[in-house]
Structure 1
Amino acid sequence: MAESFLILAQAGGSGNPLGTLGFLVVLVGIMYFVMIRPQQKQLKEHRALLGALKKGDEVVTTGGLLGKIHQVDERTVTLEVASGVRLRVLKTAISAKGTVVEGAPAAAAEAKKEDKS
């Protein structure tokens, strides 16, 4: 019985250590190109967006607020979300530059009416 265990242990441990190391290197490479690199690229683009913010830009926050930038500070941005309504938010809460269209559903309905005519 002990002899068969010894034979199985020797047979299982006879793999090439360079093959295992190569597999791990390939696995880490795949993880880098699938997970790490795209995330770093997205972070770089977001930092460039935050650095380029200026008064008058229309933006969207991560919470879904749409507004026009009234003031830009080092860490915060003051958004005007309605006439005379201003909110201070962190710069990191800005997710994208966007176009704020007032009455968008009405404008879309009018465009459909014109297309039918």
Structure 2
Amino acid sequence: MQGNAIAQFLPLVLIFAIMYFLLIRPQQKKLKDHKKMVEGVRRGDQVITQGGIIGKVSKVREDGEIEVEIAENVKVRVLKSTLANVISKTEPAAAESK
């Protein structure tokens, strides 16, 4: 009787394990990488927003926003969380002074 109950729940446990390793874990890694990318954005980086706008970061604000220059003298405020990718990173200020 006990062996029968374990045999019934084994497929459910296996399905959950497969779902965890194929769906949940990669999604958590992707979110962690995105958060790290967003926190590392600084002035001079070239970025792509989720809306497809490509521009250069002109100012990083403390309230979760950045100012992106999309054309000469055209700046927009964008939430950091809506960044899709950082195309090119600038060198840290400490590296420039060496």
Question: TM over 0.5, yes or no?
Answer: yes
CA distance in 2, matches of 1:58, 1:26: 44
Unmatched tracts of structure 1, length 5 or more:
1-14, 100-117
Q: Which has the higher contact order (CA 8 A, sep 6+)?
A: 2
Larger Rg: 1
Q: Which residue pairs with 1:60 in the alignment?
A: 48
Q: What is the CA RMSD across the aligned residues, in angstroms? A: 1.2
Query: Could you state the TM-score of these two structures normalised by the residue count of structure 2?
Result: 0.83
Q: Say yes or no: does 1:43 pair with 2:31.
A: yes
CA distance in 2, matches of 1:16, 1:33: 27
Counterpart residue identity of residue 41, structure 2? L
User: How high is the sequence identity, in percent, across the aligned residues?
Assistant: 40
SS of structure 2 residue aligned to 1:98: strand
Q: Which residue pairs with 1:98 in the alignment?
A: 87
Counterpart residue identity of residue 86, structure 1? K
Name the structure with the higher helix share: 1
Q: Which residue pairs with 1:81 in the alignment?
A: 70
SS of structure 2 residue aligned to 1:26: helix
Report how far residue 40 of structure 1 moved. 0.3
Q: Which residue pairs with 1:20 in the alignment?
A: 8
Q: Which portions of structure 1, spanning 4 or more consecutive aligned residues, are displaced by more than 2 angstroms?
A: none
Unmatched tracts of structure 2, length 5 or more:
89-98
Query: Could you state the TM-score of these two structures normalised by the residue count of structure 1?
Result: 0.70
Report how far residue 20 of structure 1 moved. 1.3
CA distance in 1, matches of 2:33, 2:17: 23
Report how far residue 73 of structure 1 moved. 1.3
56-65 or 70-79, larger mean C-alpha shift: 70-79
* Matched residue count: 85
Name the structure with the higher strand share: 2
